Every structure is written in C-alpha cells, then in structure tokens.
Amino acid sequence: MNSLHFLCTTLATPSAQPRSSTRPFFAKPSHFITHARRNHRLQVSCNTSDQNQNVENPERKGKVDRRNILLGLGGLYGAANLVSSPEASANPIQAPQLDKCGVATNLNNGKQLDINCCPPLGENIIDYRLPPVFQMKIRPSAHRVTPEYIFKFNMAMDRMRRLPKDDPRCFMQQANIHCAYCNGAYDQPGQGTLDLQVHNSWLFFPFHRWYLYFYERILGKLIGDPTFALPFWNWDNPKGMTIPPMYLDPKAAIYDPKRNQDNLKAVIDLGMTGNKDPLQVVANNLTIMYSEMIRSNTDVYDFMGQPYREGTGVNPGPGASERGSHVAIHVFVGDPREPSGENLGNFYSAGRDPLFYCHHSNVDRMWSLWQYFLPSNKVPDKRITDPDFLNASFLFYDENAQLVRVTVKDSLDNLRMGYDFERVDLPWLDYRPPPQTARARITRTSSTAPMAAALFPLNLDGIVRFQVPKAKKGKADELLVLENITVDTTKFLKFDVFVNDEDDNVMELDKAAYAGTYAQVPHKTSNKSATTSIRLKLTDLYDDMDVGDDDTVVVTLVPRHQGPGVTIGGIKIIEAPPKATTPPSS
C-alpha cells in the first residue's frame, strides 16, 4: 500500500511576502492536472489551534501551486477568501434556531420518526473563525490506506461511539445532524413552517464540507492527533469502484450491518442501469463522471445547484454532481432489507453509516477538483459572488463541544480550511464519448417519433421518445431544458436523457447520445412534492453528432426507478445565454 502523505515539507522561514509552491504533476493527460496560480491577500487569524500546515515540495519547475501560501510574522499564515466578503445580504438562508427544532420525518413513508434528531441546546453561539493552518491534513484514498491508518481510524470512531449520549460530539448526535438538516426538523428562521433543506440547491456542497470538517476535527481530538484526516471513497476511479475493504470488517468500529448485501463487493453502478457486465459498468461510470463534471454544465449553477434564499421552496434544483454520482452511492449502499433503505439509503439515517463520511469526502473532492483543477476551457466560471450564497450560515458543534455559527464564504477553499486530498488519477478527465457515426436509423425514427408538444405535460413511468425543435440550425451552443419537473420527494427517482440515440441500448451510457441525468434521494418537503428544472448543455453532444442541418433532435427519456413519481411539464431547446455569475433574485 502507498503511504498516506501525512508528512510534507513545511515552510520554515517566515516572510511578509507571498510565496508560491508547486504540487506533484503527472504527465499523462488522464492524471491530475497542474494547479493554477491564484493571488491572495494576507490574512492572519489570532485564534489558537493545534493544526499545522505544510506545503509539498516542488517536483516540476515552472508549475505553480493553485494557491500562494502567505507567510505572516511569527510563522502564522493562511490563505485568503476565494471571493472577498460581500456587504450584508437581505435574504440568505440563516442558521436554524435549535430551540425550535421539531420532529423529523421518514422520507420513504412520510411518517414522523421515532427518534429525536434535534441536537443539545448550547448556552451561547460563537461565530467561527478558521484557525491558522500550520500543517496540511491529507485525506487519503480509502482503497490505498495503510494498516496503521485503519487502526487509528477505528480507534477514533470507537471513542466517538463511547462518548455520553448527550455529548454533541458522540456518534449518534453527529449522525443526527444530517437527519435534522435534511428531514424537516428545522424550519427556515422567520419563514413560518417552511422547511430548511440543505440538498437540491447551491447549499449542498458548502453544508457537507462544514459537516465533514468538524467531524474530522472531533475524531482527531479524540485520539490526540490534529493531523488526522477522513478518507475519501475514490468511486470515480475504477480502482475504487467497490466499497473500500476496511469498511467490511464486522469487528471494526467503522462497520455498519445495514448495507445492501448484494453490493458489498460489487462494482458500483453510478448509472443505476442494472447492467451486470462490470466492464460496461465501469465505462458507464467514467462517462457519467465526465458528463457531470464537464460536459453537461453551462454555468456555475448547473454544477453547484440553483439559488436558495429565505422564503424559497426546498427544491430549487440540484447540481449535476448532487443529482448524479452522489445519489447513486446512497442508493447503492442502502439496505433493501430495511423498511426505508436504512442506513445510507435515507437521509435521516445516512450519517449512522461511517461510510457516509467517506462517500461525502469524495463528493467534497469533486467540488475541489471542479473549482481548481479542471481546465478553464472545459468548465464555466466557477465562482458564485451572490451575497445570498456567501452569507448563508449553519450551526455545528466543534471538537470542543462549542456551538459555532459558520458561513458559506468561509468554506470556499479547502486548503484554507486545512486539508487537501491524496493525488490519484482522474481517468474520467478525458473520457469523452466517441463520436456517433450512424445517422440513418435516427433519420428513420425521427419521422415516426411524435413532437414533444403533443406529449407534455408527461407522466414519466416508462421509456418515452419524441422530437424537440432545435433553437437554430448548425452547431450553436444550445441547452436542453426540462421544465417543471414535479417529483414525489418521498421516493428514489431517476431518469436519463439521450439525444439522437442510434442503438436504443439504454444499458450503455458511454456514447455521444447520453446527455445527462436527474436523480434524487428521498427528502422531505411540506407537501411531499417539489418542482424543479434542469438544463443540459448540448455543445459537445452536437460536436459528436451530425446534426448541423437538422431542424429537430430525437430525445429519449429512460426512467431508472420503478413506478410513477415524476411529471415533466415541458421540454425545449434554447440558445445558451451569455455567461453570468449571478442570476436574478428568485
């Protein structure tokens, strides 16, 4: 097994001037790409911390780190905000009122839970300030960890499980954080009974980053190791597309019996196609990762999720990563023997499986990759400067059991938060589907497929195929928009979208015709239904198909769930709007 890279070279000489560093660079195109240089302002926190920061040695001359490490007098240094702090905003989502926490709901049947997800009430709330970083934590790939790491991880989890039940840092209290924020125990402050939900919007990535940040610090505190870092489940790489072996030991503190027994050693099916050919499943998985990280996104909101402000309903729209690979892992691991897919298959119980934190560590890694490491010519602008995003806040208990308030703007940079990820290959980075070569069958089929206007609104309970007019002829930048998708939020739902699919083999996703997906893990809303929309970028898809002179394209919708639960109000193709970082207020 490879070492965990816990120890890196530390900058020892203080300086008042910024310095740059380099990261390891791999020559193969599918490997991690070099970091882009960024400028920072010097910011030094006077908070005390036992956390240390370091910088890896340069390994390739001329390549610079994605951050300039800033050295302060006395050796304290940190990185500045990615986006400067905005003026106070009128209506960001505010941290919940813990004294008004209510009964959470089982999302699979709509009934109240027989557990209390509410946290202990703290006497006072402190606005959290990120401590200075002296030594960087490196989160390791869960498939590559050493026996020493496994021992340390299990020791930390065992001590967390042994904490008193009323300690907010204990295992069940930490698991209940996800239950309270995701199953309707909290209302939006000042908005009556309108639920607070951290999924299906631009809050998805920041909330879970903060959640893991404190979970990790609690584990490190319990074993006296401030360098301890959570592992990440490397399910975006074929070598990591099974449950990490260390989670399968029944005697381990990180074991959970409530998992799908058929999937303990199976290759993850991120597409949930049901395909039994492991080679095809891997090919599908890599195509999905390329699609949700690069191909399907037109702007920052397509990846991050749609705006969510005070007074907004709880399903403004999930980003590509949340509704794709994230959902698939929850469903893949959740135990079908349990009445509601416990543990990982239901939001209220997901945090009870230690594998949840390993899964979301990789989700967090996807955000970091998308922010800093993907080529600028492949992804849109990655910053959200909207104050309603940056000033949204949450409440957590830190490693000292102190109740703290945190904001989204302080979570934008994982290095500033003191952790990074082990470098591993990115085989999906160049996994663009091959161009479509056949055209005749689509031409024949399109003459018989009905126009979309004749079918919508559409109850999607089976495969459906129809024509959609293009916005204009040629290979213009266009978006496929699925509008007013109304879903039963108590169910797992998923459907895939194909354009001009020439072979009708819906078990294979590694082809130019695959445009994207919509999926959800069950989540609570006030009336058990929610309406959203998704957009899928067609630019690369058009480039890989001979559609320049066509007036229409043929769209195929393939549900992967069983039974009803999805109604789609309409579908259309529009020209991609000019890039913008801030949408109109909702």
* pLDDT of amino acid 526: 61
Chain-centroid distance of CA 88 in Å reads 27
Q: Given the DSSP bridges, would you call strands 69-70 and 393-397 parallel, antiparallel or unpaired?
A: unpaired
Amino acid at 211: Y
pLDDT in tens, 566-584: 999 999 999 987 765 445 4
Amino acid at 296: S
**The dihedral sign for the CA sequence 254, 256, 257, 259:** negative
* pLDDT of amino acid 82: 35
Third-level CATH fold of 440-575: Jelly Rolls (2.60.120)
For residue 229, give the nearest of 397, 420, 55 by alpha carbon: 420
330 in a known ligand binding site: yes
Domain positions in the chain are: 18-421, 440-575
Q: How far apart are CA 514 and CA 497, in angstroms?
A: 6
Q: How far apart are CA 523 and CA 487, in angstroms?
A: 11
Find the catalytic residue in 134, 143, 153, 208: 208
Cβ contacts of 70 within 8 Å, gap of 6 or more? 18, 19, 40, 41, 42, 43, 77, 78, 79, 80
Cβ contacts of 475 within 8 Å, gap of 6 or more? 539, 542, 543, 547, 548
CA angle at residue 263 from 523 to 31, to 5 degrees?
Answer: 90
- Asked whether the beta carbons of 438 and 545 are under 8 A apart, the reply is no
Q: What are phi and psi of 554, to 5 degrees?
A: -100, 120
Find the helix packing angle between 204-222 and 171-182, rounded to 10°: 170
Residue 87 structure tokens: 């003026």
Annotated catalytic, 561? no
Annotated catalytic, 40? no
Fold match between 18-421 and 440-575?
no
Find the catalytic residue in 134, 171, 326, 396: 326
pLDDT in tens, 71-95: 222 222 233 333 333 333 469 999 9
Three-state SS sequence of 293-314: HHHCCCCHHHHHCCCCECCCCC
523 in a known ligand binding site: no
Residue 459 structure tokens: 């109850």
31 in a known ligand binding site: no
Find the catalytic residue in 178, 359, 523, 561: 178
Annotated catalytic, 25? no
For residue 574, what are the β-bridge partners?
A: 479
Q: How far apart are CA 453 and CA 297, in angstroms?
A: 25
359 in a known ligand binding site: no
Residue 363 structure tokens: 């989700």
* pLDDT of amino acid 115: 81
- Asked whether the beta carbons of 229 and 133 are under 8 A apart, the reply is no
Predicted TM-score (pTM) of the model is 0.80
Please state the length of the chain: 586
List Cα–Cα distances, 271 to 1, 116, 375, in angstroms.
30, 34, 25
Which residue positions in the chain have pLDDT lower than 50? Answer: 1-89, 440, 581-582, 584-586
Percentages of the chain per state (helix, strand, coil), in multiples of 5 = 25, 15, 60
Annotated catalytic, 6? no
35 in a known ligand binding site: no
Identify the CATH homologous superfamily for domain 18-421: Di-copper center containing domain from catechol oxidase (1.10.1280.10)
Find the catalytic residue in 330, 359, 523, 561: 330
Q: How far apart are CA 573 and CA 404, in angstroms?
A: 45
- Asked whether the beta carbons of 478 and 575 are under 8 A apart, the reply is yes
Q: Could you identify the residue written with the tokens 């991609």?
A: 576
208 in a known ligand binding site: yes
Find the catalytic residue in 347, 394, 421, 466: 347
- Asked whether the beta carbons of 196 and 523 are under 8 A apart, the reply is no
Question: How many beta carbons lie within 10 A of that of residue 275, not counting itself?
Answer: 19
Q: How far apart are CA 524 and CA 184, in angstroms?
A: 6
The DSSP H or E segment spanning 558 is strand 552-559
Annotated catalytic, 199? yes
